[in-house]
A and B are shown apart, each in its own frame.
Chain A
Amino acid sequence: MRITDRLSKNRGQLENKLRNILAKPVFLIEEDIFALPCGCCGITINTRGLQADDLEIFEEHIREYLKAASLDLEVEPSFLFARLVPGTAEIASLNSRLLCSRCYMDFARGSGKKPRPDIYILNFDRRE
């Protein structure tokens, strides 16, 4: 299967799972796989209609769905997070990122779920 087909299928599956659990037509407007110059790489899923309350109530389920979506694209789900529009209820994207060593340190220093106003951590595997 081509990577574009896999992404397309992955997007649809995750969207259906979220809609089923949230009982509203959450829209995954774009799913991308990316690589950054620093060494980070992963997937970004831009969302519309998904809100902070949904995440807080169904965090476990959403984490598992995102983990499965990430594994399906062979991206190790070691760092999963939602990006929020700061100060609002809106979630801009769900993300799975393989952190480079520099970015890993930025997150490893903190201990809470919101190291920045726009980031809500769903999963963070600490390195040895």
Chain B
Amino acid sequence: MKLYVPHAGHMEGLQDLLACPEDIYAVYMAGAPDYVGTGRTNLSAPGLEEIREQTEYAHEKGVKMEVVLNSSCMGGQHLTPQGFNKINWYFDQLNKSGIDSITVAEPYFVEMLSREYDMEVVVSVLSFVDSPQKAVFYEELGADTIVIDPAVNRDFQKLEAIKESVSCGLKLLVNEGCLYQCPFRYAHFNFFSHANGPGPKLNVLDDYYYYKCLSLRINDPQQLIKSPWIRPEDLKEYEHITDTFKIGGRTHFPNWILNNVRAYAGRHYDGNLMDLLDCPKDIRDLFYIPNKELEGAISQWKRCDKVCIRCGYCKRLTERVVQIYSSEGEQQLLQPLNTERSI
């Protein structure tokens, strides 16, 4: 199994991550936001020299280095002569820094990189490859690897069809906790891309999408179960699709990341599933989902036709297993999901 592991982007964090690198095939981090930016929040913006040093360090440890520049919206800057030259120069410098692969979401960059460089070109989840046809398009543009949109992580017919349709590598993101068929997905990643990319910084009142993301789960906790994460124990169900898995979570501490590495490399986790999920970090202290209790659910999801109103399996599973943390004095107690109104 090849495990891609997130890295916040500073040398100290990398040293912590790679203290025992046996289970880590590659680490990935964002680059500088001045050229392309990324579609997710970042904690650091390593310069070219730092990327070179960290790449050397990772290689010494036998680990590959990937730089993620997966802005989902460039605002057309890359199509201007100035923008193109700037980005082209940056790609060239990254290539010289010795990195192994580069992840992009913009189709133009896929083609540009595949024609000019030997670095592995990886199509980001933020290209939303969720069908065989889209996978073929990206492969023809020059993709060496495609990270499949997690929206189809539980649609095995689609996954198998994608596998059958392309000969490039496939990668699955295992722990993204985003809402299934999230209505905010494109808008939120576009917002992040502008907030974490070149151009004027936005003076944002509130991250509306994040508020809604959390509010939807609090008001309807079955959304937690419907999110297309893959349990460590269920990786075996995906081995006929790919042997390459990616853990999400660039903004977490090395301790959190290493907990995920242990769980997915060991294919076992005895604890709160929320500990492993990347997206709803803020509600990790609200919900308790005993991972063990989800054993066998994959069998249902493998034959799921995604018409929730006819099925209700995730709703029933939620009612059975999801618990809520509640404060009682200095103690945190677990309570069942359904609480009766007390007035």
Q: Given A24-B219, A49-B219, verify A88-B341 contact (CB < 8 Å).
A: no
**Residues of B contacting A24 in the complex (Cβ-Cβ under 8 angstroms):** 218-219, 339
- Assess whether A26 is in contact with B218, with CB atoms less than 8 Å apart: yes
Establish whether residues A92 and B206, one from each chain, have CB atoms under 8 Å apart when the complex forms. Answer: yes
Fill in one digit per residue for A36-72: 1 if any B CB lies within 8 Å of its CB, else 0: 0000000000001101000000000100000000000
Q: How many residues of A contact B (CB 8 A)?
A: 29
- In the complex, what residues of A have CB within 8 A of residue B339's CB? 19-20, 23-25
A9 touches B329 (CB 8 A): yes
Cβ of A37 to closest chain B Cβ, rounded Å: 20
Tell whether, in the assembled complex, residue A90 and residue B205 are in contact, meaning their CB atoms are under 8 Å apart: no
Q: Inside 8 A of A16's CB, which chain B residues have their CB?
A: 326-327
Taken together as a complex, chains A and B put the C-alpha atoms of A51 and B329 apart, in Å, by 26
Interface size on B, residues (CB 8 A): 26
Q: How far is the CB of A8 from chain B (nearest CB, A)?
A: 7
Docked-complex contact A85 and B341, CB < 8 angstroms: no
Complex contacts, B282 vs chain A, CB 8 Å: 27, 29, 48
A17 to chain B, nearest CB (A): 9
Q: How far is the CB of B18 from chain A (nearest CB, A)?
A: 33
Contacts of A85 in B (CB 8 A): 205-206, 208, 211
**A-facing mask of B303-343, CB < 8 A → 1, else 0?**
00000000000000000000010111110000001011111
Question: A49 CA to B223 CA in the complex, in Å?
Answer: 14
B112 within 8 A of A: no
Contact of A61 with B329 at beta-carbon distance under 8 Å, contacts A25-B221, A85-B206 already known: no
Chain A hits for B337, CB < 8 A:
25
Please report which residues of chain B, range 145-165, place their CB below 8 angstroms from some CB of chain A when the two chains form the complex.
none
Q: Is A76's CB within 8 Å of the partner chain B?
A: no
B327 to chain A: closest residue by CB: A12
A21 an interface residue at 8 Å Cβ cutoff? Answer: yes
**Residues of chain B with a CB closer than 8 A to A88's CB:** 208, 211-212
Interface residues of A in 69-94 (CB under 8 A from B): 85-86, 88-90, 92
* B215 & A49 in contact (Cβ 8 Å cutoff): yes
Q: With the chains together, A20 CA to B328 CA distance in Å?
A: 14
B35 → A minimal CB distance (Å): 32
Residues in A neighbouring B206, C-beta threshold 8 A: 85, 92
Instruction: Kindly report which residue of chain A lies nearest to residue B221, judged by CB atoms.
Output: A25
Nearest CB of chain B from residue A89's CB, rounded to whole Å: 8
Judge whether B283 is part of the interface by a CB distance below 8 angstroms: yes
Task: Let me know if A20 and B205 touch, CB within 8 A.
Answer: no
Give bound CA distance, A90 to B218, whole Å: 12
- Assuming A21-B342, A21-B343, is B327 touching A90 (CB within 8 A)? no
A20 and B218 contacting across the interface, CB-CB below 8 Å = no
Residue of B nearest to A17 (CB): B342
Q: How far is the CA of A21 from the CA of B286 in the complex (A)?
A: 18
Indicate whether B170 reaches chain A with its CB closer than 8 angstroms: no
- Chain B positions within 8 Å of A61 at CB level: 343
B217-261 interface (Cβ within 8 A of A): 218-219, 221
Complex interface: chain B residues within 8 A of A20 (CB): 339, 341-343
* CB-CB contacts below 8 Å: B185-230 with A: 205-206, 208, 211-212, 214-215, 218-219, 221
Q: Select one of B211, B326, B340 contacting A90, CB under 8 A.
A: B211
CB proximity to A under 8 Å, residues B247-284: 282-283
- Complex Cα spacing A22 to B214, Å: 17
Q: List 14 A-B contacts (CB under 8 A).
A: A8-B327, A15-B326, A20-B343, A23-B339, A23-B340, A23-B341, A24-B219, A24-B339, A25-B324, A27-B282, A48-B283, A90-B212, A90-B215, A92-B211
Task: Taking A20-B343, A25-B339 as given, write out 14 further A-B residue pairs in contact, using a Cβ cutoff of 8 Å, ordered by the A residue number.
Answer: A5-B330, A8-B327, A12-B327, A20-B341, A21-B341, A23-B340, A25-B287, A27-B286, A48-B211, A48-B218, A49-B219, A85-B206, A88-B211, A92-B211
